[in-house]
């Protein structure tokens, strides 16, 4: 079979853009599909053709397999690449693509189905001689029986929804008294998320590391691995920073793990890109008897770029070649590891507010240099409330791990985003932490050190000066340094930052120094320079630098790995904002109301759930801030709301 001349990508965002880049390099025409919310998105702009497939919610567009297949047929596409997420691991969709006479760029429906349920996958792996975590993977689901199995396995245990993914339907149980409640919760979440309440129970590995092996198979009977990735830095079972190869990986352990991964792929006649994920005992040095099969992802992984960087291979190109019937371009003995690679996932979320998604317009977006950037958005685009809040992935590659960490540090510190809050400062702190630098990794690291990783540092004197200079138009390049024209040496400013007013004075000295006076401190800065979007100054003999970008009356300032967003204080706007304290309950984000739990006239107590808002595939419960009575309700279930929209009015209860 010849190489495709046109493919359709059944996805959106950065993965659709990533696939288009390789397709264009291979001179393959591309077709995008898009929802109402994505009509102006980057992946639509990149494609040769684009087909509208429905409403903004994924259930009305990207999950409608029949509509996507029809779009491929209508545009003359020969193959459909599913990307990851959405329909990428749906065996019924893969079968429907084949039935329509098209090629599914991925494994067979049978392979997807075999690995889709965790219990069946583990039984298959045991047959292939792949080590499996001790546990119960059977059909019996009666609560008392499962409790007995947990006792046999030995606490702590992990309950997992067998059809789960993304951390849903998973509960850690450390003692028998907590088992029943955790089982009910995991089963309920599995039913709600995947339509399957069936669970399995596994021994919980203390200090676990998450190491996965990239495998590839073709239709000519060849199966290879492209080494391993360490994905141990996780939050709520979601990967945050990934790297390849795994640090401190002994050669004999790598050989054992990659051999197990190839055996796993051969067990199900696997074709295409896949990942065998292992849970690894990280309590000491890695060993051959200290890793166990966890699950297989029958698709391209989010973190595939780190494997590409250390092997020099384009995995999307491999996928398209294999799907067209060609053999893989490299044999196992032609693959080798070169250097070290890291990937950090940048999200629109607020780490200091429990990582709440923060959809909204990207007024300014620029990335630090020295990194490979994988993104589906540009400045001026919108981070939609309907989908995953990823903005970009920064990828670095260097001869050593330490150098790759240094490159990622520079890339993150050079990244500016004005609009939604992001996790860039959190990633900078994590990448620069002593434990990560020493490769003291396990999946609990972030949770243990979270307070430190998200700790707030007040803006420095230079950050405040940068905001004042560029919001007020002070000219630091004039011979008189721009201030004598005012006939005075002191100017007073008020900035809004984090919903607080920062009052300060700038005192301009004849020698070019500027004294920054706030309510807390007095700082003298000298040798001040402003070139392009950078400012530098000396403080106590030490040189400091800021990056800045302005949009309208707002400015974002970056210094020492921390970003600060400022606006000039507007007293009239401030006076008109009565805030949440008045009892006006407002939407904390743009999203969809899924439940309204109260009605007008109802009495509630503090922390009573009032409204549930869904945004970016997560539900957020808004609770009563105090005891009171519901006066008015402005929202209804199913309605879309913007950030800050009025939801209801709560008045304090009369005593």
Give the tens place of pLDDT for each residue, 195-221.
Answer: 899 999 988 888 999 999 999 999 999
Residue ranges of the chain that CATH labels 3.40.50.20: 6-105
Q: What are phi and psi of 508, to 5 degrees?
A: -95, 125
Instruction: Please check the confidence at residue 96 and state whether its pLDDT lies above 80.
Output: yes
Fold of 134-203: Dna Ligase; domain 1 (3.30.1490)
Fold of 209-453: D-amino Acid Aminotransferase; Chain A, domain 1 (3.30.470)
Q: Which of 171, 299, 345, 401 is catalytic?
A: 299
In terms of residues, how long is the chain? 655
Going by their DSSP bridges, the two strands 356-357 and 349-350 should be labelled as antiparallel
| Residue 100, pLDDT score | 98
Tell me the CATH number of domain 461-572, given options 2.40.50.420, 3.20.20.70, 3.30.700.30, 3.40.50.720: 3.30.700.30
Residue ranges of the chain that CATH labels 3.30.1490.20: 134-203
Residue ranges of the chain that CATH labels 3.30.470.20: 209-453
- Tokens matching residue 488: 């005075």
Instruction: Please check the confidence at residue 578 and state whether its pLDDT lies above 50.
Output: no
Q: What are phi and psi of 295, to 5 degrees?
A: -170, 170
Cα 547 to Cα 559: distance, rounded to the nearest angstrom: 7
| Residue 640, pLDDT score | 86
Q: What are phi and psi of 513, to 5 degrees?
A: -75, 155
Q: Dihedral of the CA atoms 16, 349, 52, 64 (nearest 10)?
A: 80
Cα 585 to Cα 297: distance, rounded to the nearest angstrom: 42
378, β-bridge pairs? none
Instruction: Please check the confidence at residue 537 and state whether its pLDDT lies above 90.
Output: yes
Residue ranges of the chain that CATH labels 3.30.700.30: 461-572
Q: What is the pLDDT of residues 243-263, one digit of tens each?
A: 999 999 999 999 999 999 999
| Residue 482, pLDDT score | 43
Instruction: Please check the confidence at residue 510 and state whether its pLDDT lies above 90.
Output: no
| Residue 120, pLDDT score | 86
Q: Match 């309204």 to its residue by tokens.
A: 596
Contact residues for 98 (Cβ-Cβ < 8 A; gap 6+): 104, 109
**Active site (annotated) includes residue 299:** yes
- Tokens matching residue 77: 């596409």
Instruction: Please check the confidence at residue 483 and state whether its pLDDT lies above 70.
Output: no
Average pLDDT, the chain: 92
Q: What is the CATH number of domain 578-652?
A: 2.40.50.100
Nearest to 460 by CA among 534, 541, 386, 525: 525
| Residue 617, pLDDT score | 59
Three-state DSSP class for 156? Answer: coil
| Residue 166, pLDDT score | 64
Cα 400 to Cα 77: distance, rounded to the nearest angstrom: 42
Fold of 6-105: Rossmann fold (3.40.50)
Nearest to 567 by CA among 580, 551, 578: 551
Q: Match 């029958």 to its residue by tokens.
A: 298
Cα 208 to Cα 381: distance, rounded to the nearest angstrom: 39
Q: What are phi and psi of 233, to 5 degrees?
A: -80, 100
- Tokens matching residue 487: 């006939």
């Amino acid at each position: 079979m010849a190489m495709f001349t046109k493919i359709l990508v059944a996805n959106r965002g950065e993965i659709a853009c990533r696939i288009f880049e390789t397709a264009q390099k291979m001179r393959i025409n591309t077709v995008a599909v898009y929802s109402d919310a994505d009509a102006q998105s980057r992946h639509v702009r990149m494609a040769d053709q684009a087909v509208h497939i429905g409403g903004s919610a994924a259930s009305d567009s990207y999950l409608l397999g029949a509509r996507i297949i029809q779009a491929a047929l209508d545009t003359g596409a020969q193959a459909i690449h599913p990307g990851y997420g959405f329909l990428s691991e749906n065996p019924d969709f893969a079968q429907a693509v084949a039935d329509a006479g098209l090629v599914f760029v991925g494994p067979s429906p049978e392979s997807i189905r075999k690995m889709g349920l965790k219990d069946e996958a583990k039984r298959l792996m045991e047959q292939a001689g792949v080590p499996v975590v001790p546990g119960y993977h059977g059909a019996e689901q009666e609560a008392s029986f499962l409790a007995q199995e947990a006792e046999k396995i030995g606490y702590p245990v992990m309950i997992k929804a067998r059809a789960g993914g993304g951390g849903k339907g998973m509960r850690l149980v450390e003692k028998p008294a907590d088992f029943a409640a955790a089982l009910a919760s995991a089963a309920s979440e599995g039913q709600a998320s995947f339509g399957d309440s069936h669970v399995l129970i596994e021994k919980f590995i203390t200090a676990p590391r998450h190491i996965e092996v990239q495998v590839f198979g073709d239709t000519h009977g060849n199966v290879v691995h492209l080494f391993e990735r360490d994905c141990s830095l996780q939050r709520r079972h979601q990967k945050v920073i990934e790297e390849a190869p795994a640090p401190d990986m002994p050669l004999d352990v790598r050989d054992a793990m990659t051999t197990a991964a190839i055996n796993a792929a051969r067990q199900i006649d696997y074709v295409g890109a896949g990942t065998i994920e292992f849970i690894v005992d990280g309590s000491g040095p890695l060993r051959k008897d200290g890793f166990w099969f966890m699950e297989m992802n029958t698709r391209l992984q989010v973190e595939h770029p780190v494997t590409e960087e250390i092997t020099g291979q384009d995995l999307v190109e491999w996928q398209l070649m294999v799907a067209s019937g060609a053999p893989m371009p490299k044999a196992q003995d032609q693959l080798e590891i070169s250097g070290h690679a890291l990937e950090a996932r940048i999200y629109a979320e607020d780490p200091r507010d429990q990582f709440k998604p923060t959809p909204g317009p990207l007024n300014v977006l620029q990335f630090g240099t020295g990194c490979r950037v994988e993104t589906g958005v540009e400045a001026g685009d919108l981070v939609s409330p309907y989908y995953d809040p990823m903005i970009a992935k920064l990828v670095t590659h260097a001869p050593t791990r330490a150098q790759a960490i240094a490159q990622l540090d520079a890339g993150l510190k050079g990244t500016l985003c004005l609009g939604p809050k992001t996790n860039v400062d959190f990633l900078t702190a994590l990448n620069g932490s002593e434990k990560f630098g020493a490769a003291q990794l396990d999946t609990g690291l972030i949770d243990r050190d979270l307070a430190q990783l998200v700790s707030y540092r007040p803006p420095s004197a230079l950050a405040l000066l940068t905001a004042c200079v560029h919001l007020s138009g002070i000219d630091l390049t004039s011979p008189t340094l721009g201030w004598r024209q005012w006939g005075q040496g002191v100017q007073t400013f008020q900035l809004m930052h984090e919903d607080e007013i920062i009052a300060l004075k700038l005192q301009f000295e004849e020698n070019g120094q500027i004294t920054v006076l706030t309510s807390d401190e007095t700082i003298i800065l000298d040798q001040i320079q402003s070139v392009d979007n950078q400012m530098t100054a000396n403080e106590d003999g030490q040189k400091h630098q800021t990056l800045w970008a302005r949009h309208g009356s707002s400015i974002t300032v970056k210094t020492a790995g921390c970003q600060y967003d400022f606006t000039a204080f507007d007293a009239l706007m401030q006076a008109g904002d009565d805030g949440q304290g008045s009892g006006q309950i407002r939407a904390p984000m743009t999203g969809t109301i899924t439940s309204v739990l109260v009605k007008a006239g109802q009495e509630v107590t503090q922390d009573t759930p009032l409204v549930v808002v869904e945004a970016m595939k997560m539900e957020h419960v808004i609770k009563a801030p105090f005891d009171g009575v519901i006066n008015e309700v402005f929202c209804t279930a199913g309605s879309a709301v913007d950030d800050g929209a009025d939801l209801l009015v709560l008045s304090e209860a009369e005593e």
